[in-house]
Chain A
Amino acid sequence: MIEHSLGEFEELVLLVVAANHTKAYGVLILENLEEKLNKKVNISAIHVALKRMENKGFVISKFGGITKERGGRRKKFYNITALGKKVLDHQYALRTSIYKQIPEISFG
């Protein structure tokens, strides 16, 4: 599954999208990430990651309804696809399996 590459930041964004299923959009992802990572994240970086993943087929997007906020602009909600989930699972499995090979090291 080498062709389905997933960068570190992309992975984080994808995780947030998956965690907030059907409710994830730019600002929400931003706030979530900032909270979890405890540092400032730029919104444009998130949009870049989202667009890339959408191109790779990891997420799909659709517009929500019009609200009074946001200057009347609709939200664009992102959902994880089956492929996206698979890649996440694969990544998780890969990391866990390697992690398990770590011998008991003491840094006493």
Chain B
Amino acid sequence: MISRTSYNPENPDPDKLKEQDIIPPKRALRFLRWFCREDYIEEIEGDLTELFENQHEENPKKANRKFTWNVIKYFRPEFIKSFTSNYSSNHSAMFRHNFIISFRNFKRYKMSFFINLIGLSTGLACALLIIFWVLDELSVDTFHKNDSQLYQVMVNYADKQGIHTLEGTPGILARTFVDELPEVEGSASVVPNPDRKLEGIISCGNNYTKAEYRFVSKDFFKMFTYKLIQGDKDRVLINKSSIAISKDIALNLFNTAENAVGKFVEWEGDRCNGQFQITGVFQTPPSNSTIQFDVLFTYDLFLEISPEFQTLTGPTGPVTYILLQKNTDVSRFNGSIFNFMKSKYENSKLSLFVRPYSDRYLYNEYKNGMRIGGRIVYVRLFSVIAIFILSIACINFMNLSTANASRRLKEIGIKKAIGASRTEIALQYLGESILITMLSVLLSVLVVALFLPQFNTITGKQLTPNVNLFLIISVLSITVLTGLLAGSYPAFYLSGFRPVSIFKGGGIINKTKNSVGAHLVRRGLVVFQFTISIILIVSVSVLYQQMSFIHLKNLGFDRDHVITFSAEGKVKESIGAFLWGMNNIPGIISTSYMNGNFTGQHGTVYNADWEGKNPDQKVEIGYLGVGYDLFETLGMEIKEGRSFSREFGSESSNAIFNESAIKSMGLIIPVGQTIKILGQKKQIIGVVKDFHFESLYTSVKPIYFTFEPTANNILVKIKRRTEKETLALLEGVYKKYNNGLFLDFRFLDQDYEAQYASEKRVAELSKYFAGIAILISCLGLFGLAAFTAERRTKEIGIRKILGAGVFGIVRMLSGDFTKMVLTAIIIALPISYIIAKNWLDDFAYRIDLEWWFFIGAGFMALLIAWFTVGIQTIKAARVNPVDCLRDE
């Protein structure tokens, strides 16, 4: 270690000149020493100091000024030392030397090495997976060329409960916007599908296939970057009888994607039927598009089918997207459209605003008209978890390196004595930590490649490791950052040792001030690790309790063993015969149908009228058209009256309400009452007990049911344990009606659980991450315990000779760790209580936070820590005193 030795006579430090009365300005002196040539410095400094001393007697202030000024005058080429190192030839040698030293240390202290390697690579693998996921989430809907100009028009609707923010706009808003507002360059209306897919059957000759469809207005392809393979962007969706199909559909129908334009296809769906001419073929939308569709119809066709949407003042439903001019001031634009609806029609309760199109995926939740986040919360949550896990791994490295400093003490001492500067030692240790991080990154890339399929299953994504420049750069920068983070403290700590104290103390640094500080830092870091781990454990257990609470909660209807599928084609046409045919299958208990579903797709009416109604009273009631036997199939309880039945002739003027509807209307004797609703008179024939038809985020809402002869979704209750045979038979019946289609059914509880899909994913993922966090923390603890046990072998030996038992020694060794974990528990529990409470507040039906969640998590952390430490301490305590004492 040859180095630029800085000039170092008896009084090296400017700070040490304090014994003398007269001290030249420190900063100027330091500056002089920094730049001045080593062979001149003594003479110059001496002369300057002498001048200073002479002058100081007359005028101290002036002397100070003069000294500084003189120093500055020396800052000229003749006196400045060469900063481009004279020893550059040494760099590669030193690099090699450090490299070898690092590897020898890895080899020599295998346990520390493996703890670091495993910890860091697990942490990095988690971080990489989370980065993949976060990048994918952030990329959703951003692939459109006009992304920066694309906005969605949103509707705020105010009532007594507050402001509701809705996506549905009046049917012709898009067109009106383009006509009336100069800032709007283009617009597109899209008819949404809230939860279920809008599906139909497209056929050509004998080829059938199921397709998801949308109605979109004519500028759709100009606004959004969905690639049109065939057809003309401007003319695709002009004619009401046109249809645009995806490449996949074209391949299904014609076995080729070419020359599809101009051909005629048959369409069968619940909104429209008939023959359509293909005017365009588009690339199937990428998976990071929130709109997925196989077939597009014109929006004009939608307006023809549903004429109620042809006005601005009518119902809201279609979603409006607009293309704003470049450099439009969005907040000003928002101000100008706020009262747009009122300006059109006085009584409108709707106010409008726009949001960036690519925000609709991540910022999808509004409360009282304010944006409150949505999926972005999970993106942030997991980013934070990634940082935490990575820092837990870094802390292991810090703790083990500083705890094991005594192993490297002599190396540092000798290097420094030969002339190594502190910077060089620090750089050596930083290099070492970056080296081990690089090894960990290689390992973690392997781990990621191995676990990506499982990760995709849990997250429901299709992440593929496509290696691109951005990824490489981010992985490299993470490596360097992690290396620096992990290595910074040890480098700073280890390089600070003074050679004199190292050799004088004979390697014992316990008593120096420095090591007491390091010990404190180490304890603090362990506490931090465990705090994070405990917070994660508590959160995960609360998450799990709440999820299982939702699963087990009695919803008021029985969703087990009920399958649902949509009525299509001939099944729909001859629904009665189909249901009758199904009822002959032995494994089927009962069948029914409804138009829509519970989990979102049902209509809402605001104007119901009945005898004795308070004219000011406003009610909001959901409605659903259903078939016979629905309540029996779903095991719902009729509280009063009866359900729809074939024995009573026509049911078309009858309705069944749920309890909360009756309550909100204030009816005392409901059965037999006539209600005017949606322009029709309906007689209440029954009241059904309240059941949770929407998600448990909300409380039970009023709803009523009418009988309808046509079916959209068929429900079938199947006998337990006969699913396989029954489904095979059912498939047979279905094939008789719709040959060529396969029965695409789902279990009803799947539908229900889909509402909590994101929670389930978060729960599932955080379970693993919490596990990993506690694992890495314990690895570090294990290393520290091993180190303590090793350092205190002699003490243990002497204690045993004096009569200490194994238990006493174990208790002595683990007492310190117990204190740290207990501190962590005390810090972590209040924090996790706040986090859990905030999350649970979103649910209308939720578990109570029990004290044992917290005590349990704390106890678990303590047990795990004891177990980890115990392995080491018991081993140490059982040692034969002779073995550890005979050396001296």
Q: Which of A's residues lie within 8 Å of B, judged by CB?
A: 25-27, 30, 42-44, 47-48, 51, 63, 69-76
Choose one: A47, A51, A70; the contact of B50 (CB below 8 Å): A70
Q: How large is the interface on B (under 10, 10 to 19, 20 to 34, 35 or more residues)?
A: 20 to 34
B42 adjacent to A76 (CB under 8 Å): yes
Contact indicator A51/B49 (Cβ below 8 Å): no
> Which residue from chain A places its CB closest to the CB of B24 in the assembled complex?
A71
Whether B46 and A71, one on each chain, are in contact in the complex, defined by CB atoms closer than 8 angstroms, is yes
Q: A51-B78, A73-B42, A74-B42 are in contact. Are A43 and B47 (CB under 8 A)?
A: yes
For the complex, give the distance between the alpha carbons of A44 and B48 in Å.
9
Which of B46, B70, B78, B79 makes the CB contact (< 8 A) with A74?
A: B46
- Which of B9, B20, B47, B76 gathers most chain A CB within 10 Å? B47
Find the residue from A48, A72, A75 having the highest chain B CB count within 10 A.
A72
Question: What are the residues of chain B within 8 A of A51 when measuring CB–CB?
Answer: 40, 78
Q: For residue A73, give the distance in angstroms from its CB to the closest CB of chain B.
A: 3
Contacts A47-B44, A48-B78, A51-B78 given; does A73 touch B49 at CB 8 Å: yes
Partner of B70 from the list A25, A43, A70, A71 (CB cut-off 8 Å) is A43
Contact present for A72 and B47 (CB under 8 Å): no
The answer to whether B46 touches A73 (Cβ under 8 A) is yes
Known A27-B50, A48-B78; contact A76-B45, beta-carbon cutoff 8 A: no
**Residues of chain A contacted by B54 (CB below 8 angstroms):** 27
How far, in Å, is B49 (CB) from chain A's closest CB?
4
B residues contacting A by CB (< 8 A) are: 9-11, 17, 20, 24, 40, 42-51, 53-54, 70, 73-74, 76, 78-79
Check A27 against B47 for contact (C-beta < 8 Å).
yes
Residues of chain B within 8 A (CB-CB) of A25 are 43, 47
Pairs A–B under 8 Å by Cβ, sample size 9: A26-B43, A30-B51, A47-B74, A69-B50, A70-B53, A71-B11, A72-B9, A73-B49, A76-B43
Assembled-state Cα–Cα distance A48/B107 (Å): 56
Q: Measured between alpha carbons, how far is A90 from B11 in the docked complex, in Å? A: 45
CB distance from A55 to the nearest CB of B (A): 10
B48, A43: Cβ atoms closer than 8 Å: yes
Do the beta carbons of B50 and A72 come within 8 Å of each other?
no
- The 9 A-B residue pairs with the shortest CB-CB distance, nearest first, are A73-B46, A26-B47, A76-B43, A70-B46, A44-B73, A71-B49, A70-B50, A70-B49, A27-B50
**Most B Cβ at <10 Å: residue of A48, A63, A70:** A70
Nearest-neighbor residue (CB-CB) of A51 within chain B: B78
CA–CA, A47 and B32, complex, Å: 15
Contact A75 B46 (CB under 8 A): yes
Contacts of B51 in A (CB 8 A): 27, 30, 43
In the complex, chain B residues whose CB is within 8 Å of the CB of A74:
42-43, 46
Q: Which residue in chain B gives the minimum CB-CB distance to A77?
A: B43
Q: B20 near A71 (CB under 8 angstroms)?
A: yes
- Chain B residue contacts of A26, Cβ below 8 A: 43-44, 46-47, 50
Residue of B nearest to A72 (CB): B11
Q: State which of B10, B44, B48 has its C-beta within 8 Å of the C-beta of A72.
A: B10
Contact between chains at B70 and A44 (CB < 8 Å): yes
Q: CA A74 – CA B9 in complex, angstroms? A: 10
- Contact: A44 with B74, CB < 8 Å? yes
Contacts of B42 in A (CB 8 A): 63, 73-74, 76
Known: A48-B78, A51-B78, A74-B42. A42 touches B73 (CB 8 A): yes
Among the interface residues A26, A44, A47, which one has the most CB atoms of the partner chain B within 10 A? A44
Expressed in whole angstroms, the minimum distance between the Cβ of A77 and any Cβ of chain B is 10
Measured CA separation A69–B21 after assembly (Å): 11
Residue contact B53 to A69, C-beta cutoff 8 Å: yes
Check A71 against B47 for contact (C-beta < 8 Å). Answer: no
* Assembled-state Cα–Cα distance A69/B51 (Å): 11
A26 to B: closest C-beta gap in Å: 4
Instruction: Report the Cα distance A26→B43, complex, angstroms.
Output: 8
B133 to chain A, nearest CB (A): 63
Flag if A47 contacts B47 (CB, 8 Å): yes
| Nearest CB of chain A from residue B39's CB, rounded to whole Å | 10
With both chains docked as a complex, state the minimum distance between the C-beta of A19 and any C-beta of chain B, in angstroms. 19
**For residue B45, which residue of chain A has the nearest CB?**
A73
Q: How far is the CB of A84 from chain B (nearest CB, A)?
A: 19
User: Which of B42, B43, B45 has the most CB atoms of chain A within a 10 A radius of its CB?
Assistant: B43
